[in-house]
Amino acid sequence: MTVRRAATATAVCGVFLVAGCSSNFGSDSSGKQDSGGKQSLTVMIGSSGDNETNAVKQAATAWAKKTGNTVSVIAAQNLDQQLGQALAGGKPPDVFYVGSSVFANYAKGNSLYAYGDQLSDKDDFNSALRASFTYDNKFVCAPKDSSTLALAVNAAMWKDAGLTDADYPKTWDDLEKVAKKLTTKKTTGLVVNASYNQLGPFMKQAGGWVTNADQSKVTADSPANVEALTYVKKLLNEGVMKFPKQVDTGWGGEALGTQKAAMTIEGNWLTGAMTADYPKVGYKVVPLPEGPKGKGTLSFSNCWGVANKSAHHDAAVDLVKAFTTVDQQLSFADAIGVLPSRDSALATFKEKHPASVAFADGTAFAQGPVTVPGFTKVLAQFDTDLSGLATGDPKKILSSLQTNGDQVLKSDN
């Protein structure tokens, strides 16, 4: 997950009109293929920092040395904007990051070369991640890594409150109790982003979600989702949970790092941020508590997109294969803190990174994002509504999400 701070993606189909938001996915709009001689490829990434940029450059250099081709890696300042402009200009990078939250917009716009089904070991990629990058029943692009959500706890505050390992919350009631114990005049027990990206697990834990399994129907206004948001509203009204802006921080990790929060719900991008920005703050990552219907967390990912208009499809796919080997994924995990997207790499990852086991274990039941074309606009409005949840009506918020989502689904059919 390149977006270390998990801001909600707001790009919608309109942003990609320059790339052609048509429905002719899979048609051949690629340029003439250059299959002879040594080739020069460009890779565009949205990087979280020097560690990520250097890790991709090193992997690209190793492949170039092996094949005799050349690769240029560009770390975009604004990936969506720069990539959209490149696609519109007809000269896109050959390989690039595509976030799961905006993937369907690119796929519908016919900007992506669907190569996923060419991969001989495609089944080794996590099934939920494969689903996130499947469009019109085609596995389009290989997931490069993943992130899940877990509960991060300030170790010193936990101990000072008289809590032990046995007190890590297993249920919603447990979470409420420890949040109350950890809340003081200076510290809020739980600080979580006012976004479905962080509050969504409560919906899953209650047995709900935004859509049904195949995303053919919006299920936002279900009793389960109402129960989830009602619980969150209760914590907010009790003052044991706050949103980051209420404690003068930008996201949950900053709240944890500045010790304005004793707990937060974040993804494994948190580990790199804490190491870089708050190295003296000790914390532990534990699984999210279960809700009335069991476990629930969310999954975030990017895939390695290949431009439909690239003249180097074969070489680009070969480069992606090099980027996604088990060894390379583990190397990326070491450098960046992401989870491997291959099931076969997870066991080794957990052995090497015991502090991140809760994140890794979450991949077994994590819910992927909504990948309906144009739905990012709907979710952006949902986030806006969630920011007012403390004084809002959960039923009305979910009814609005239902209405807006239904409109998008109807327009997409």
pLDDT in tens, 293-334: 999 999 999 999 999 999 999 999 999 999 999 999 999 999
Residues of the chain with pLDDT under 50: 1-29
Pick the CATH number of 13-146+301-364 from 1.10.10.10, 3.20.20.140, 3.40.190.10, 2.60.40.1150: 3.40.190.10
Give the phi and the psi of residue 343 in degrees, each rounded to 5: -60, -35
Query: Hey, what are 189's tokens?
Result: 């027990």
CATH class belonging to 148-298+374-412: alpha beta
Give the phi and the psi of residue 164 in degrees, each rounded to 5: -125, 180
Nearest CA-CA partner of 76 in 90, 89, 95, 58: 95
Handedness of CA 50, 324, 143, 340 (dihedral sign): negative
Nearest CA-CA partner of 240 in 168, 156, 163, 174: 174
In whole angstroms, what is the distance from residue 154 CA to residue 161 CA?
11
Whole-model pTM: value is 0.87
DSSP class per residue in 269-314 = HHHHHHHHH-TT--EEEEPPPBBTTB---BEE-EEEEEBTT-S-HH
- With 0-12 CB in 10 A as exposed, 13-18 as middle and 19+ as buried, what is 46? buried
Which pLDDT score is estimated for 1?
A: 37
Give the other-Cβ count within 10 Å of 173's Cβ: 11
- With 0-12 CB in 10 A as exposed, 13-18 as middle and 19+ as buried, what is 196? buried
Task: Give residues with Cβ within 8 angstroms of 388, minimum separation 6.
Answer: none
The whole-angstrom distance between residue 403's C-alpha and the CA centroid of its chain comes to 25
Residues 176, 180, 183: CA angle, nearest 5 degrees: 135
Which pLDDT score is estimated for 353?
A: 94
In whole angstroms, what is the distance from residue 118 CA to residue 110 CA?
18
In whole angstroms, what is the distance from residue 74 CA to residue 44 CA?
5
Q: What is the pLDDT of residues 72-122, one digit of tens each?
A: 999 999 998 999 889 888 889 999 999 888 898 899 989 999 999 999 999
In whole angstroms, what is the distance from residue 96 CA to residue 72 CA?
12
121-129 contacts: CB < 8 A, separation 24 or more?
A: 124/342, 124/343, 124/344, 125/324, 125/341, 125/342, 125/343, 126/341, 126/342, 126/343, 126/363, 128/299, 128/363, 128/366, 128/367, 128/368, 129/100, 129/299, 129/301, 129/341, 129/368
148-298+374-412 shares the fold of 13-146+301-364: yes
Query: Hey, what are 323's tokens?
Result: 């980027």
Query: Hey, what are 303's tokens?
Result: 């895939």
Indicate the domain borders of the chain.
13-146+301-364, 148-298+374-412
